[in-house]
Amino acid sequence: MSQETPMIDILGKPVQRIGVIGSGQIGPDIALHFSKVFSPASVPVVVVDISEDALEKGRQKLDKKVNRGVESGAFRAEQGEKMKSGVLFTSDYSQLSGCDLIVEAATEDKALKGKIFSQVQELVSKDAVLCSNSSHLEPEVIFENISNPERTMVVHYFFPAERNPIVEIVPGEQTSAELANDMMGFYEAIGKIPIQVKSRYGYAIDPVFEGMFLAAALLVEQGIASSKEVDQVACDVLDYTVGPFTAMNLTGGNPITAVGLDNYNEKIHTWYRTPEILRKAVADNTPWEVPARGERVEVPEQTFSAVRDALLGAYFGIVGEIVDSGISNVADMDMAVETALDVKAPFRLMNSLGVSESLRLAQKYAADHPGFPVPKCLQEQVSQNAPFPIPLVLRQDHGSIAHVIVRRPRHLNALNNEAFNQIEEHFNTISADESIEAVLLTGFGIKAFVSGADVGFLAKIDSAQMGEATSKGSQASVQAIEDCPKPVICALNGLAFGGGNEIAMACDVRIARAGIKVLVGQPEVNLGIIPGAGGTQRLPRWVGVEKAAELMRTGRPISSAEAVSIGLISEEVPGDPRALRRRATELLNGALRGEAPFKGIETGPLQTPDELPSVDLGHLSIEVDRILQKTIIEGCRLPLRDGIALEARYFGEVCSTEDMRIGVSNFLENGPRTPARFANS
């Protein structure tokens, strides 16, 4: 959010005051995130707690984190001061009066939460949104005595709340479906990654966190391994940043996990229970013995194998049961578990190991642990002899308009081969779907529409033939967009680099969020390659040969304002991604009514000079530039489809150069900010 953008709203009502109840472990962090987002618009955040000591500690915690952010350069000094001054810590509940959004983050106690919300509902308007950051309790339980339950839900944050992007949105039986949907958009607009979960005790992610701790604790309790050994194997096998015992020490999670596991026993299945070693740890208030920072624990091979198999079998069984229950799905669980808990994505891991081997591990764990279910979804994939389909590109139909959403937030929505294929599949299906009249293509979040192609798969190209085949594969996916017989609009919610701009240019119309300083770019030359998904041919047809050549040859990105001025996008839309999608829908409906038909791209040859105007290449490769120039000049003199075929051939040629190897290796080793030292610069 910036000062140039309108206030962020909920159901069309601007959020002008926010309340956070509880100044314990997570409340100040929730307030910090709200302050970061809303302080530019001077929206106050009120933190209420009955304990003056908790309030003072919460204030100190928030100030310390903001100061650290200023020191690191994450915040400007004036921004940091505004963030700190914009949060009021108080024991006066009346300060919540006028809040449009309340997030309660008090102790996990049903009676306490009920008492808080009974008091709060008398202080705020009937259309204020009341949320609980409960980690376990069902919304129907928390809000059972609320007079306006349609405005309530659980919004479950994860540690640390100001930085961990995942939030679970858990509507209750009486929660307004319209509100629940808009809250998904609200949290997306403020930089979080929300997933909607059906109401069940513990929701979707905590049973994984606490269930994996149970699996770890049982290994220790049964004498199979020590807590230090289990932590080490968990880090080695599942990519835990810190092992389950270390995580429990850091979060102080022993007491709440003990309560949660006992309740899971009643509400989910009987394997879940509080092991005796956890009961003792809670009673004695003692930390777990864990590896020291930087310590490598050597685990005997036989012990390692036993712990590995048990952790994997438990992991696959736990996440599979959650999908079987219907409260979540494979795509959300794969993304959210990986992101919230910082471990390997479970369903991709099953696909990597093989679903048959994954089922074997789950069955072995179930055989050794009574009450542990073998997931039906995993059995089904084995019966089909197929890996789990994991959507990276989502389709959501809104009436007769299909929304196609690229969602790879950990990778800024970068496209790998799987994502390209899913785009092609969606558009082929939509083209044949008589119930769909138009398409809205966009990306998830506020940072990126599509940040480009995943450089990891470019690094695998080892010949001109493989380069040409890779280009043709990407081109086929993009062509499916252009060939769609229905109006297609691209809503650029954030930056569109490389392949992102190439799929956007296959749409009939492009619009973007207003005020984006870096919106579009074809930065391939920085990698020692050229655009390979149609960019060398479509960009000249949208903005003219000379302007397109300058942008592609230098890799210079442009703002949303410049994109409008050169004709690449038709308009900027103020507001968050929801406003952008609403405007896109208006334009599509207008096209369907014949008011403003979508023209699409010119497909014939272009008048193209024999030589392109000179540009300053700086450190860039002369050899790559030579290939790029001939691709533009020769290709644009052909019909569009023929020019795109020519591009694939020349993409293969550039992939055989030394500078391509240098550029891609430099990116993977040093990141995008370090210029490559090309051999032919």
Asked whether 162 and 33 are in contact (CB, 8 A), the reply is yes
3-state SS string over 243-256? Answer: CHHHHHHHHCCHHH
Q: Distance between CA 608 and CA 610 in Å, rounded?
A: 7
Which two tokens mark 455? 């450089």
Are residues 132 and 104 in contact, defined by beta-carbon separation less than 8 angstroms? yes
Confidence of residue 454 (pLDDT cuts 50, 70, 90): confident
Looking at residue 4, its pLDDT comes to 46
Q: Rounded CA gap, 245 and 327, in Å?
A: 27
Would you say residue 3 has pLDDT above 50? no
DSSP string for residues in 587-640: HHHHHHTTSS-------S-----SSPPP---TTS-HHHHHHHHHHHHHHHTS-H
Is the pLDDT at 654 greater than 80? The verdict is: yes
- Evaluate if residue 347 carries a pLDDT over 50: yes
Average pLDDT score over residue span 286-293: 94
Is the pLDDT score of 220 beyond 60? yes
Q: What is the CA radius of gyration of the chain?
A: 27
Is pLDDT at 609 greater than 70 in this prediction? yes
Average pLDDT, the chain: 95
Residue 236 has pLDDT above 70, yes or no: yes
Least confident stretch, 164-168, 212-216, 352-356, 460-464: 460-464
Helix (H) or strand (E) holding 62: helix 52-72
Q: Distance (Å, rounded) from C-alpha 400 to C-alpha 416?
A: 29
Confidence of residue 600 (pLDDT cuts 50, 70, 90): confident
Residue 1: pLDDT over 50:
no
**152-172 pLDDT, tens digit each:** 999 999 999 999 999 999 999
> Computed from CA positions of residues 373, 375, 380, 382, in that sequence, does the dihedral angle turn out positive or negative?
negative
With cut-offs at 50, 70 and 90, classify the pLDDT of residue 6: low
Q: How far apart are CA 252 and CA 547, in angstroms?
A: 58
What per-residue confidence (pLDDT) applies to 456?
Answer: 80
Residue 489: per-residue pLDDT: 98
Question: In this model, does residue 2 exceed pLDDT 80?
Answer: no
pLDDT average, residue stretch 251-261: 91
Distance CA 199, CA 113 (A): 17
CA neighbor of 615 nearest in space, from 680, 546, 564: 546
User: From residue 599, how far is each of 486, 487, 573, 617 by CA, in Å?
Assistant: 12, 9, 20, 35
Tell me what percent of the residues of the chain surpass a pLDDT of 90: 94
Most confident of 449-463, 526-540, 585-599: 526-540
Q: What is the pLDDT of residue 89?
A: 98
Domains present along the chain, CATH in parentheses: 9-196 (3.40.50.720), 206-383 (1.10.1040.50), 393-670 (3.90.226.10)
Percent of all residues in the chain with a pLDDT value above 70, rounded to a whole number: 99
Question: Any idea which residue has 């509400």 for tokens?
Answer: 267
Residues in the chain: 681
Question: What average pLDDT does this structure show over 5-25?
Answer: 90
Cα–Cα distance, 589 to 347 (Å, whole number): 38
The band of 332, judged by pLDDT with boundaries at 50, 70 and 90, is: very high
Residue identified by tokens 């558009």 is: 427
Residues 604-632 have a mean pLDDT of 96
Alpha-carbon gap, residue 246 to 184, rounded angstroms:
32
Residue type, 50: I
For residue 587, give both structure tokens.
């334009």
Q: How many helices (H) and strands (E) does the chain have?
A: 27, 19
Task: Name the amino acid, one letter, at 5.
Answer: T
